[in-house]
Structure 1
Amino acid sequence: MTFTKPWVKGHTQESPRPQPASSYESSDHDEKAPHDLRTSSSSNEEVVNKEVQEGVQKAEAVTALWTTGSLVIAYLLIFLVFFVNSLQQQITQNLTPYVTSSFSKHALIPITQVVSSLISGVTKLPLAKLIDVWGRPQGFAVTVGLTTMGLVMMAGCNNVQTYAAAQVFYWVGFNGMSYVLDVFMADTSSIRNRALVFAFSTCPYIATTFAGPSAAQRFYQHSTWRWAFGAFTIITPAICLPLIVLFGMKQRQAKKEGLVQPRNSGRTWTQSLIFYYHEFDLLGLLILVAGFTLFLLPFGIASYQSSKWSTPSIITMIILGGCLLLSFPFYEKYISRQSFVPFSLLTDRTVIGACLTAATLFVSFYCWDQYFTSYLQVVHNLSISNAGYVANIYSIGSAFWSVVVAVLIRLTNRFKWLGLSAIPLMLLGVGLLIHFRDPASPICYVIMCQIFIAFAGGTLVITQEIAIMAAASHKDVAVVLALLSVFTGVGQAVGLSISGAIWTNTLLKYLELYLPEGSKAQAATIYASLTTQLEYAVGSPERDAIVRAYGVAQRRLCIAATVVPILAFVWVGMWRDINVKNVKQVKGRVL
């Protein structure tokens, strides 16, 4: 799940070069057929900008070829993909504590996800380059393959190391699939209606919020968690194949009608390898991923070292990671031949503000959410399915509310006021968790907090996406969405690192303090396995000690989650209050 330029009245976003009026997106009353749109001009350049990369040209050509029927079919297939992905995510996330517990590594949940979240976030930049250079269908097919590979590895893993490696493949592919589909929806919608289109993509969570946890419990009770992953190794590629075929057919049609001309680079294989090495800036990608990983990973693993934070390897990782992160901007400016993001976007305050808002939101979310289902099962004695229902209030609430926010953006043509109004609600919801996520508090108050956070989160996610896209031209939409994903990935990793550090340095300590004398020797075993924690009967001295320790850890997690969103006031304040009605980006048949 999933976690934006000076205030100039009447600002319009200009395209990278002057375009004929007929090449812009159709207005609300323009019902001209795609064929008429293409042949009404003297050349195909009114539909396809020949100066942009080939993948963007293909996207513009395909947009001009959509008929109403084929576009409806495409969106129905996209909805089906999002539905299956959300169902699969709901099932596997509810089973993840049992996967790590089966290896006696329950506390390693965030550590197994820190690297995967970083890599999945940062790799959106080369993925953006891939779909801009090669095309949207090719990029989508690659991400489907990576997702399937990760699911296969998770279904067959026999240790936490293999599971962690599988998480990297899975999250790079899973988040990549959503990203490519977001770019496609941006290609086929006006900026004014794009919030509605993006809100549409979250609607499957309304249904899978209930179906996913129930299915997870059935897998756990009547089969194994392995089959929960294994089933989707077949379902996911089967559902995605029709969409890949439809995309591919439209690209071939564009080539046949001459809207996209094949390019002959004249390069040899060796020259092509060197060219794409620089084009995708592989060394820069490696520096960025290694820097974030080395800097953030110690926060989750330090407590497992004999000397804790004074362990030489921990100190070395933090210093080396920090040096790599500091060297990255210098490498991009002075050494790299091809930077990921145009410098003008990196200095745009709307883009910067949207990215920092996304990072802040994800840091806060993963501080309070990471051990939430475990907390509900241990402290409130809920089943897997019921714990999933409560935890998924955020998903269903934000999915529902994002539609309301999209309508408000469509009616007012503004988004900044919505972002500013959501931050106090976010602070209220997360702040109340400090008090109510306590073993003595009724579950209904926890649910109330979830609703507040869901409405605020749904608002901020939609508005930050619209803000960053409104600040860019069409040729840069894929790049700015990738940049936003980098910050969400980093925010997720930071949140996971913080939650992992708090959890590992709190729970075991207080288990050893609260457990009865005869059970203190079992503290490490209890700490390492959710299954073991649930084996103690409710009301027993051991279970009461576990519940008290959970209460202390959860309170600290919620305090961390409350402090972070205060920064969002500054980040949203940086957004330009753009009138989306005046922004013209895409061409052809659009929503």
Structure 2
Amino acid sequence: MASKETQIAQATAADVTYPTEKEPETSQPPAYAGNDNSDQESLDQEAQAGVKGVQATAAVWTKSHMILAYVIIWFIYFITSIQEVVIRSLNPYVTSAFQLHSLTAATSIMANIIGGLSKIPLAKILDSWGRPQGMSLMLLIWVVGFIMMAGCNNVQTYAAAQVFSSVGSQGVSYCLTVFISDTSSLKNRALMLSYATSPYIITTWIGGPIAQSVLGGPGWRWGFGIFTIVVPVVVAPLCLLFFWNQHKAKKMGLLAPSRGPLTLSTIKQYCIEVDLIGIILLAGGMALFLLPFSLWSYQKDQWRSAMIICMIILGGLLLIAFALYERFWAPVTFIPFNLLMDRTVFFGGLMFIFEFFNSAVWGSYFGSMLQVVWGLDVTEASYVQAIYRVGSCLFCLLVGFLIRWTGRFKWLAVYFSFPLMILGVGLMIKFRQPDAGIGYICMTQIFVAFAGGTTVICGELAMMAPSDHQHIAVILAMLNLFGSIGSAIGSTVSAAIWTSEFPKALAKYVPTEVSVAKVYSDITAQLSYEWGSPARNAIAHAYGDAQRYMLITSVCMLVVAWGCAGMWRDIKIKDVKQVKGRVI
């Protein structure tokens, strides 16, 4: 186990190395830097074991193995993108199967919170244990989540399964991002990250028909069962390739032999180093504080319910306890405060909170609205939702080339992506209403897609550029944590607006013979009324009223995120040398 002096939580100001202090990268070849005759020199002897492992791997693997790794990564994202579309399409039908469609957003709150927090201990696993070991663990958790989803018999089990699935899928994606960061120079990183996610351009059009055929055939349970088999088949080869090259590095003497067996003392030390108590306080506090905002409408006394009051109070107390513990008692804090206080890193993290908050608020019930308000089937609705993913991934390829050419990223966020994003979401306020044509909905999605992909790429570079290789994994973990916190808060606000405004609007618009409670709780009941009938039109108007409040909230958060991007330093990433070994 690495000594405490190497922990990010105890980093000194010298640990945060700024681009102007780094050696220009012009001394490196434009592709596949690294030298087989200087493998030993390419290792950072002060780095933790996992970082040394990836540096040793980058020093010994062949060009063909590196190309093979990136090909496998492309196929992993190919399958991942399909399952995201399928599961998003199945989600309202799973909750409706238990007569709880309004919990569509609530079921993802805990998954977002725990999925984001899990990156912190995972970063420690990657740094101290190894990259392939961490990815293998996340693959196992991901498969367990799929198994639980396929076998769930109530919303509670489904929500728990989403936690496992979210931790596993986000963990694998995080490991891939860390690997790409390990094996690419900073000036090429945006381009390589865009390449890795390029399968979304193709597969988002496949997921909808798959979901439609599953719902019309074997049922939604098999939608999860299919990926229980497929996901391990595509992820395992990359794990094996990593293990093989680490073994090769050990045989060449670049890596020390593996540590001894795991003992109680090493487990205790690991729990201290990842600040397990702090993580539990933060996760518990956020969950207890946020969940009541989506559950209050199911309680007999609603906001006066003892359970709701206790959850909010206890959640708030746990968050206060977390802050006090981190400030006064934690032996090691999991947040690298010195690095986090860098202006670009700090405002990059805040930008991700508000950006993901925005997308979670207006996206939670979008799929349901497309089917109920505009009469699209599951496949057609998935196509409209896919515009964001396809557009963002396609445009990211251009963004990657622009960043490589100019060597800068701030200008793209401040002068292009956020103004376009605010325009797109602002237009949704006007057009996400039942009297608007579906073409206008598609137009706003295109604007948001081009802006969103650019924003994420620039935000990732803003958080990684001031760091060095030793801190890449934990910085990416912080990035994911900020994004997950934003998504969790956004889902909470979305659910709170929905549970408050949608039933009120239904009671106002629907004919007296229609059961408000049944329509509120089941998307199939909403779809059962004939298209164009008074009941269906009333339900559509209720959707529009609830969405208007969500979208106004989103625009407000985007303005704040735009201000955060304006606070970044204008870093010239062409001058940053961050990784060693055979890299792109």
TM-score tier (shorter): over 0.9
Provide the C-alpha distance between the structure 2 equivalents of 1:159 and 1:342, rounded to a whole number of angstroms: 40
Partner of 2:556 in structure 1? Answer: 563
Provide the C-alpha distance between the structure 1 equivalents of 2:262 and 2:516, rounded to a whole number of angstroms: 62
Q: Contact conserved, 1:34 with 1:65, CA < 8 A, in 2?
A: no
The reply to whether residue 438 of structure 1 matches residue 439 of structure 2 is no
Q: After alignment, is 127-136 or 344-353 more displaced?
A: 344-353
Q: Contact conserved, 2:19 with 2:465, CA < 8 A, in 1?
A: no
Provide the C-alpha distance between the structure 2 equivalents of 1:453 and 1:33, rounded to a whole number of angstroms: 39
Partner of 2:371 in structure 1? Answer: 377
Equivalent of 2:362 in 361, 364, 368: 368
Equivalent of 1:303 in 297, 306, 311: 297
2:454 aligned counterpart, secondary structure: helix
Structure 1 portions without partners, runs of 5+: 1-9, 16-20, 39-43
AA aligned to 2:568 is: W
Provide the C-alpha distance between the structure 2 equivalents of 1:373 and 1:566, rounded to a whole number of angstroms: 25
Q: Contact conserved, 1:34 with 1:67, CA < 8 A, in 2?
A: no
> Within 5 A, what are the aligned runs for 1:212-251?
212-251=207-246
**Aligned-residue CA RMSD in angstroms?**
1.8
Q: Alpha-carbon deviation of 1:344? A: 1.3
Partner of 2:583 in structure 1? Answer: 590
1:389-411 Cα distance to aligned partner (Å, 9 max, x none): 01111100101111111111001
1:517 aligned counterpart, secondary structure: coil
Q: After alignment, is 299-308 or 87-96 more displaced?
A: 299-308
The reply to whether residue 136 of structure 1 matches residue 143 of structure 2 is no
Equivalent of 1:340 in 334, 338, 349: 334
Provide the C-alpha distance between the structure 2 equivalents of 1:33 and 1:567, rounded to a whole number of angstroms: 42
> Within 5 A, what are the aligned runs for 1:343-422?
343-421=337-415, 422=417
Structure 2 portions without partners, runs of 5+: 1-16
Alpha-carbon spacing, 1:30–1:556, altered in 2? closer, same or farther (3 Å): closer
Alpha-carbon spacing, 1:433–1:30, altered in 2? closer, same or farther (3 Å): closer
Q: Contact conserved, 2:32 with 2:583, CA < 8 A, in 1?
A: no
Provide the C-alpha distance between the structure 1 equivalents of 2:411 and 2:33, rounded to a whole number of angstroms: 35
Q: Contact conserved, 1:374 with 1:530, CA < 8 A, in 2?
A: yes
1:131-165 Cα distance to aligned partner (Å, 9 max, x none): 10100000000111111000001011111111011
> Within 5 A, what are the aligned runs for 1:23-38?
27-29=28-30, 34-38=35-39
Partner of 1:481 in structure 2? Answer: 476
1:217-262 Cα distance to aligned partner (Å, 9 max, x none): 1111122111110011010011111111100001111111111113
Provide the C-alpha distance between the structure 2 equivalents of 1:470 and 1:382, rounded to a whole number of angstroms: 43
Provide the C-alpha distance between the structure 1 equivalents of 2:544 and 2:28, rounded to a whole number of angstroms: 55
2:19 aligned counterpart, secondary structure: coil
Provide the C-alpha distance between the structure 2 equivalents of 1:443 and 1:26, rounded to a whole number of angstroms: 53
Partner of 2:448 in structure 1? Answer: 453
Q: Contact conserved, 1:26 with 1:589, CA < 8 A, in 2?
A: no
Q: Contact conserved, 1:255 with 1:261, CA < 8 A, in 2?
A: yes
1:276-305 Cα distance to aligned partner (Å, 9 max, x none): 121222111101101111111111112222
Q: Contact conserved, 2:289 with 2:314, CA < 8 A, in 1?
A: yes
Q: Contact conserved, 2:348 with 2:463, CA < 8 A, in 1?
A: yes
Partner of 1:12 in structure 2? Answer: 19
Equivalent of 1:276 in 266, 270, 277: 270
The reply to whether residue 551 of structure 1 matches residue 539 of structure 2 is no
1:333-374 Cα distance to aligned partner (Å, 9 max, x none): 322222223321121111111111111111100111111111
Alpha-carbon spacing, 1:69–1:438, altered in 2? closer, same or farther (3 Å): same
Alpha-carbon spacing, 1:225–1:26, altered in 2? closer, same or farther (3 Å): farther
Equivalent of 1:508 in 493, 497, 503: 503
- Normalised to the residue count of structure 1, the TM-score between the two structures is 0.93
Q: Alpha-carbon deviation of 1:431? A: 0.5
The reply to whether residue 187 of structure 1 matches residue 188 of structure 2 is no
Equivalent of 2:307 in 313, 322, 334: 313
Q: Contact conserved, 1:370 with 1:499, CA < 8 A, in 2?
A: yes
Q: Alpha-carbon deviation of 1:56? A: 0.8
Equivalent of 2:525 in 529, 532, 543: 532
Partner of 1:496 in structure 2? Answer: 491
Q: Contact conserved, 1:13 with 1:471, CA < 8 A, in 2?
A: no
Provide the C-alpha distance between the structure 1 equivalents of 2:21 and 2:281, rounded to a whole number of angstroms: 34
1:82-123 Cα distance to aligned partner (Å, 9 max, x none): 111111111111111111111111010111110110000011
Q: Contact conserved, 2:33 with 2:583, CA < 8 A, in 1?
A: no
Equivalent of 1:463 in 444, 450, 458: 458
Alpha-carbon spacing, 1:34–1:541, altered in 2? closer, same or farther (3 Å): same
Provide the C-alpha distance between the structure 2 equivalents of 1:201 and 1:562, rounded to a whole number of angstroms: 30
Q: Alpha-carbon deviation of 1:330? A: 2.8
Q: Alpha-carbon deviation of 1:327? A: 2.8
2:109 aligned counterpart, secondary structure: helix
Provide the C-alpha distance between the structure 2 equivalents of 1:180 and 1:443, rounded to a whole number of angstroms: 38
Alpha-carbon spacing, 1:108–1:31, altered in 2? closer, same or farther (3 Å): closer
Partner of 1:258 in structure 2? Answer: 253
AA aligned to 1:281 is: D
Alpha-carbon spacing, 1:268–1:491, altered in 2? closer, same or farther (3 Å): closer
Provide the C-alpha distance between the structure 2 equivalents of 1:158 and 1:252, rounded to a whole number of angstroms: 44
Provide the C-alpha distance between the structure 1 equivalents of 2:320 and 2:413, rounded to a whole number of angstroms: 31
Identity of matched residues, %: 45
Alpha-carbon spacing, 1:245–1:537, altered in 2? closer, same or farther (3 Å): same
The reply to whether residue 93 of structure 1 matches residue 100 of structure 2 is no
Q: Contact conserved, 1:87 with 1:212, CA < 8 A, in 2?
A: yes
Q: Alpha-carbon deviation of 1:331? A: 1.5
AA aligned to 1:554 is: Q
Provide the C-alpha distance between the structure 1 equivalents of 2:267 and 2:188, rounded to a whole number of angstroms: 40
Q: Alpha-carbon deviation of 1:214? A: 1.2
Provide the C-alpha distance between the structure 1 equivalents of 2:480 and 2:262, rounded to a whole number of angstroms: 34
AA aligned to 1:530 is: I
Provide the C-alpha distance between the structure 1 equivalents of 2:444 and 2:530, rounded to a whole number of angstroms: 28
> Within 5 A, what are the aligned runs for 1:35-184?
35-38=36-39, 44=40, 46-184=41-179
Provide the C-alpha distance between the structure 1 equivalents of 2:51 and 2:218, rounded to a whole number of angstroms: 46
Q: Alpha-carbon deviation of 1:62? A: 0.7
Equivalences, count:
567
Alpha-carbon spacing, 1:541–1:81, altered in 2? closer, same or farther (3 Å): same
Provide the C-alpha distance between the structure 2 equivalents of 1:440 and 1:288, rounded to a whole number of angstroms: 44
Q: Contact conserved, 2:141 with 2:168, CA < 8 A, in 1?
A: yes
AA aligned to 1:369 is: G
Alpha-carbon spacing, 1:586–1:26, altered in 2? closer, same or farther (3 Å): farther
Q: Alpha-carbon deviation of 1:272? A: 1.4
Provide the C-alpha distance between the structure 2 equivalents of 1:25 and 1:508, rounded to a whole number of angstroms: 62
1:392 aligned counterpart, secondary structure: helix
Alpha-carbon spacing, 1:512–1:334, altered in 2? closer, same or farther (3 Å): same
Q: Contact conserved, 2:34 with 2:59, CA < 8 A, in 1?
A: no
1:432 aligned counterpart, secondary structure: helix
Q: Alpha-carbon deviation of 1:308? A: 2.2
- Normalised to the residue count of structure 2, the TM-score between the two structures is 0.94
Alpha-carbon spacing, 1:476–1:97, altered in 2? closer, same or farther (3 Å): same
Q: Contact conserved, 2:31 with 2:583, CA < 8 A, in 1?
A: no
1:521-552 Cα distance to aligned partner (Å, 9 max, x none): x1101111111111110122211211111111
Provide the C-alpha distance between the structure 2 equivalents of 1:568 and 1:550, rounded to a whole number of angstroms: 27
Alpha-carbon spacing, 1:539–1:572, altered in 2? closer, same or farther (3 Å): same
